[in-house]
Structure 1
Amino acid sequence: MNRTLVSRLPLLFLICLVATYFWFYSSSSILNEYGSYKPEWPLLIDTFITLPLICYVFLTDKKQATIKAIAYCALLILFGAYFIPAQQKFIWHSLEQARYLVMASVLFIELVVVASVIAAIKADLNTCTDPDESLIAPLKRWLKSGPVFNLMQFDMRMWVFCLFANKIKSENYIGEQHFWYAKKDDAKGNALGFIFLMAFEIPIAHLVLHFAWSPLAANVISLLSIFGLVLFIGEYRAMSRRPISLTQTHLIVRYGIYNPLYIPLDNIETISPHNEFVPRSNEVNRYNFSGVPNIEIKLINQIDKKSKIYLGVDDPSSLINALNNKI
C-alpha cells in the first residue's frame, strides 16, 4: 500500500467517525431506537481506544502518532460536546471541562517552542550565515519536510522580519548576484500605506463591532486583523532585505516572506521580458506585488506542478542578461 496513503489513514478514519456519529446523533433509526437512545459510550470507545490504536498502528513515527492521537481525541471531544444529547452525557461533561486545560497546555507548549525557536534564530542572525538557513535549522530539530514545515517556516519568517529585520543583512544571503523588487511600481510604498490604513482601521472596527454586534466577535476579528498587520509589516520589511539571487547552479527566488523557490539553471527553457496580466492558473507561479510581472520563465520540467514562473523585479533586463549568460 502506498506509504502516503497509509500515513493518512488516521485522518480518513477520523473523518469517517465524525460522519458516522453525526448521522447517529442527528437521525432516528433502529440503531438508536428511533432517536430515544443516543448513548455516549460508543463514541468514548472510538475516541480513546480505536482512534489512538489506528494512529500507532499506521504511523511509524511514534512521536507523530502521539501528537495526532491527542489532537484527534480533542477534536472528537469537541464534536461530542455539541452532538451528544445532554441527557445522555455522564462522562462527557467532565471531558468538556478538561478540554480547556488541554488547550491551555498546548498553547503554553506552543508559546515555549516558538520562543525557543525565535531565540535560536535571533542568535544565528548575528552570524554571517544565510538568514533562510538560520531560520530552517531550528525548525528541522522539531519538524520534517512537508506542508507543516513549509507553513511553519513561512510563519517564523513573518515574525523574524517583523521583530528582527534590523539584524538581517542582505549580503549574507547565498548568491553571486542579487536582484530586487521593492521599487517596482512602488511596491514598498504601497505596502507601507496599507499598513497605516490597517493600523488606523483596527481600533475603529473593534469599537463598532463591540457595540453593534458582539464583544466576542470584535475580539476575534481584531486578533485576526492584528495577525494580518504583523504579516504585512514582515512583508514590508523583507522587501528591501531579501533578494532574488543567482548562483552557479540555481536561481533562488526569494520574494517578501514567501518560502524560497530554487530553480535549477539547467531546467530553464527560456527567460524573456513580459508586460501582460497573468491570470491565476495551476500551471504558473506569480511573484509580483503590484502591476504586471515583467519577466517570464518557462521551465523544461515542472517544479511543484508549475511550468511557468512570472517575476516582477526592479531591473528585469539585468536579471535576464545575467541568467542568459549563465545558461
Structure 2
Amino acid sequence: MSNITLNRLPLLFLLSLVATYAWFYSSSSFLNEYGSYKPEWPLLLDTFITLPLICYVCLADKKQATIKAITYCALIILFGAYFIPTQQKFIWHYLEQARYLVLALVLFIELVVVASVIAAIKTNLNTHADPDESLITPLKRWLTSAPVLNLMQFDMRMWVFCLFAHKIKGENYIGEQHFWYANKDDAKGNALGFIFLMALEIPIAHLVLHFVWSPLAANVISLLSIFGLVLFIGEYRAMSRRPISLTQTHLIVRYGIYNPLHIALDNIESVSPHHEFVPRSNEVNRYNFSGVPNIEIKLRSPIGGKSKIYLGVDSPSMLLNSLNKASDKTTN
C-alpha cells in the first residue's frame, strides 16, 4: 500500500466511524434492540483505542499522528454530544467538558509551531537569499506532506508580507530579469481602495449583525472578514515586491502571494500578445489582477493539467522579447 493511501486511512476511518454511528444512534434495528439500547461504550472504544492506533500505524511522523489523533478524538466527542441519547451517557458528559481543553491545547501547540516558523523566516529575510526559499526552508523542517506544505506556504507568505514586507526586496529573488505587474490597469491602487472599504465595512457590519442577528454570528463573520483583510494587505504589499523572473532555464511566475509556478523554457510552445477576456477553464491558469491578461503562453506539456498560462504585466513587450530570446537560446 502506498504512503499516500496510508496517510489517508485515519481520515477515511474517521468518516466511516461518523457515518456508522450516526446510523446506529438515529436508527431502529436489531443491533440496538430496535432503538431501546444505544450505549456509548462501542464509540468510546473506537474513539480512544482504534482511531489512535490507526493514526500511529499509518503515519510515519509521530508528531503529526499525535496531533491528528487528538483532533479526531475531539471531533468524535463533539459528534457524540449530539448523537448519543442523554440517558445513555455516563462518561460522555465529562468528555464533552474536556474537549474544549484538548482543542485549546492543540491550538496552543500549533500557534507555538507557527510562531517558531515565523521567527525563523524573519531571521532568514535579513539575509540576501531568495525570499521564497527563506520561507519554505523552515516549513520543510516541520511539514512532510506536499499539499499541506503548499497550503502553509501560501498562508505564511500572506502573514510575512503583511508583517515583514519592508524586509523583502525584489532584487533578492532568483532570476536574471524581473518583470512587474502592480501598475497594470492600476491594480495596486484598486487593491488599496478595496482594503480601505473593507476596513470601514467591518465595524459597521459587526454592529448591525450584533443587534439584528446575534453576537456569535457577528463575531464569527467579523473574524473571517479580518482574516480576509489580512490576506488583501499581504497581496497588496506583495505586488510591488515579488516579481515574475526569468532565469537561463525557467520562467518563474510569482504573482502576489500565490505559490510560484516554474515553467521550463523548453516547455514553452509559443508566447504571444493577448487582449481578450479569458474565461475560467480547467486547462487555463490566469495571473492577472485587473483588466484582461496581455500575454498568452502555450505549453508543450501541461503543468498541473494547465496547457495555457495567461499573464498580466506592466511591460508585456519587454517580457515577450526576453522570453523569445531565451527560448531561442534554449532551443539552439
Same structural fold, with TM-score higher than 0.5 when normalized by the shorter chain: yes
Q: Helix, strand or coil for the counterpart of 1:162?
A: helix
Q: Secondary structure at the match of 2:60?
A: coil
Alignment partner of 1:195: what SS? helix
* Number of the residue aligned with 1:112: 112
**Distance between the aligned counterparts of 1:259 and 1:296, measured in 2?**
20
The equivalent residue for 2:324 is 324
Shift of 1:145: 4.5
Residue 189 of structure 1 aligns to a residue whose secondary structure is helix
Equivalent residue letter for 2:15: I
Identical residues among aligned pairs (%): 85
Q: CA deviation at 1:93?
A: 1.1
1:40-51 aligned within 5 A? 40-51=40-51
Deviates more, 1:118-127 or 1:167-176: 118-127
Partner of 1:178: 178
1:79-100 per-residue CA deviation (whole Å, 9 max, x = no partner) reads: 1111111111111111111111
| Stretch of structure 1 that moved more, 247-256 or 61-70 | 61-70
**1:38 is the counterpart of 2:33:** no
The match for 2:140 is: 140
CA contact (8 A) 2:283 2:308 kept: yes
State TM-score, norm by structure 2: 0.96
Instruction: Look up the match of 1:277.
Output: 277
Deviations 1:174-213 (A, max 9, x none): 1000000001111101000000000000000000000011
Q: Cα distance, 1:61 vs. partner?
A: 3.1
Specify every segment of 5 or more residues in structure 1 that has no aligned partner in the other structure, as ranges.
none
Unaligned runs of 5+ in 2: 328-332
| Cα distance in 1 for residues equivalent to 2:314 and 2:146 | 32
State whether residues 129 and 172 of structure 2, in contact with CA within 8 Å, keep that contact through their aligned partners in structure 1.
yes
Aligned residue number for residue 62 of structure 1: 62
Shift of 1:288: 0.6
Equivalent in the alignment of 1:309: 309
4+ runs deviating over 6 angstroms: none
Q: What amino acid is the match of 1:64?
A: Q
Amino acid in the other structure paired with 2:289 = F
Q: How far apart, CA to CA, are the structure 1 residues paired with 2:130 and 2:14? A: 41
| Residue equivalent to 1:196 | 196
The answer on whether the counterparts of 2:130 and 2:172 sit within 8 Å (CA) in structure 1 is: yes
Q: Which amino acid aligns with 2:4?
A: T
2: CA distance, partners of 1:124 / 1:60: 29
Distance 1:301 1:59 in 2: 34
Looking at structure 1, the residues matched to 18 and 58 of structure 2 have their Cα atoms a distance apart, in angstroms, of 19
Match in the other structure for 1:21: 21
Correspondence for 1:85: 85
Q: Report the counterpart of residue 5 of structure 1 in structure 2.
A: 5
Q: Which residue of 1 aligns with 2:75?
A: 75
Paired residue total: 327
Counterpart-to-counterpart distance in 1, 2:30 and 2:145: 47
Residues in 1 aligned to 2:158 and 2:150: alpha-carbon distance in whole angstroms:
12
Corresponding residue SS for 2:142: coil
Q: Which moved more, 1:66-75 or 1:92-101?
A: 66-75
SS in 2 for 1:81: helix
Distance 1:85 1:71, change over 3 A: same
Give the whole-Å Cα distance in 1 for the aligned partners of 2:168 and 2:271: 30
CA distance in 1, matches of 2:35, 2:290: 58
Give the match for residue 243 of structure 1.
Answer: 243
Is the 2:71–2:103 contact (alpha carbons within 8 Å) kept by the matching residues of 1?
Answer: no
Distance 2:145 2:324 in 1: 32
How much does 1:6 deviate?
2.8
Deviation at 1:121, TM superposition (A): 1.2
The whole-number CA distance in structure 2 between the counterparts of 1:290 and 1:181 is: 10
TM-score normalised to structure 1 length:
0.97
Name the CA distance, whole Å, in 1 between partners of 2:198 and 2:254: 25
How much has 1:173 moved relative to structure 2?
0.5
Distance 1:186 1:264, change over 3 A: same
- RMSD (CA atoms): 1.1
- Per the alignment, residue 287 of structure 1 pairs with 287
Letter aligned with residue 137 of structure 1: T
